[in-house]
Amino acid sequence: MDTNNEVQKSNKNETVPIPDPLIDKILFNKYKLLKKIGKGSFGNIYLSKEKDTNEYYAIKIENKNTLINFLVNEANMLLYLNCPKTPSIKSFGYTNNYNYLIMELLGKSLEDIFENILQKKPMSLRCVCNLGYQMIDILEFIHNKNVIHRDIKPDNFLMSNGDNKYLYLLDFGLAKKFRENDNSKHFPFIKGKKLTGTARYASVNALNGDTQSRRDDLESVGYVLLYFLKGKLPWQSLMIKNKEERYHKIMEIKRDISTCELCQGCPEEFQKYFDYVRKLEYEEDPDYNMIKSLFINILEKNEFKFDYYYDWDIKLTINDCNNFNNNKQITDKNNEDKYMNNFDMNRKKEIDDENSFDLPLDKIYYRKKNRKKKRNKSQDKSTADGAGEEVENDNNSIEENLIQNHNDCCIII
C-alpha cells in the first residue's frame, strides 16, 4: 500500500506539458506553424511552412507588450548588416500585441550539437580551429558595420541547413552600434552598467559593468572555444542563487585566473589570443587577420588545414538538423505531396480556415519548466539588465524605417 501511495504521489508531482495552441495554426493566412524548435533570448522560435511554396522557415515570436521590443531591433540589425552568415529575413510582422520575425531556417546550434550529438565530449583541436576561424570572420564583418553582438554563446551559432557546412550567427536582439559610422568616435565609455549578455561567456569588462565594444565580442568567442575544447569552464556550476552575487563571482574568477592557467593543456596560440583581446583598449581596432592566423597556425602545426572539418558525422547531422517531427526530414517533400494529392482539398480548406488566426492573440502558452533538467542553465540565460533603452536609442540602433524601406522584406501589419 505504501508503495502504491508513493507511486501515486510521484505521478501527481510530474509536470504535464501544456499543448502549445499555436501548433498547426496558420499565421497571416500563409505560414503554418508546425513545431516549436527553440527559444531565443526573448522569444520562442517555430518551424513553419509557407502554403504556396511549401518552403520552410523559422518564425520568432515576441510579446510586444514588454519594456523593450528586442525583435524589432533584431530585424533592423539583420537587414542593416545584410551579412551572408546571418539568417536572411523573409518578413517582419506585428500587431498590437506581438512581433513576428520570419527568417531563413538554419540547422542545429553548436550547443545542441555539443550536448546531444557529441554527448558533451570535448571537440578536437581541428574542429575547434575550423569553428574559431569562422566565428572571427563573422565578427569582423559585423564589426566593420560598426555593430557589436553582445551575446556571443554556443546557442547563437548555428550550422547551415542542408549541407551543414557553414557557420551562422543569429539572435541580434541585444546587438547595437558602438559608433555611428567609420569616421565617428565610439559612443561614450560608461562604468557601473548592468550586464547585457550571458554571464558564462561574457567578458570581464562586461561583467564589471563597463560599456562593451569589439574586444568584448572577441573575448566571448575565446570562452566559447575553450568550452568546446575542454568541455567545461572554471566558473561553471557555481551554487549561488542570487543573480548579482553569481555574476560578481564569475567576474572575479575570470579576472583573477591567468591566461596561462585558463589555457592550460591548449596550444600556446590560445593563450596569445586571450593575452591580445584582454589588452585591447575600448576603441582599439582589433587585428582580425592576426587572430585568424592563430587558428591557421595551429592547424598547420598539426598538419591540418582550414577545411570546414567537424567532429560530428556529416550525414547523421544533416538528418538530425532536418528532423523536427517523427524522424521525418522536412526537406523530403515527396511523401507529403503524395499524401496531399489524395487529401480532400475541400476539407483541407475548412481545416485551414479553422486553424487560421488573425492576431492579436489573447494568450501564448508555454511548456512548464521541467524541474529535473539535466543541464543547469543558470549561467546560460541571456540577460538584458544592462540594455536599458540602448537598443531603442536613435544614436545606438538602426532606424526602424529600414524594415519598411527594404525592398526584399515584406512588412505585415
The catalytic residue positions are 151
Spatial distance between the Cα atoms of 160 and 165, rounded to a whole number of angstroms: 6
DSSP 55: -
The DSSP bridge pattern shows strands 328-329 and 323-325 to be antiparallel
Count of other CB atoms within 10 angstroms of residue 210:
17
AA identity, residue 272: K
AA identity, residue 187: F
Spatial distance between the Cα atoms of 229 and 309, rounded to a whole number of angstroms: 15
Cell 524589432 identifies what position?
72
Count of other CB atoms within 10 angstroms of residue 55:
15
Q: Are 409 and 92 in contact (CB under 8 A)?
A: yes
Give whole-number Cα distances, 365 to 21, 158, 345, 368, in Å: 7, 26, 30, 9
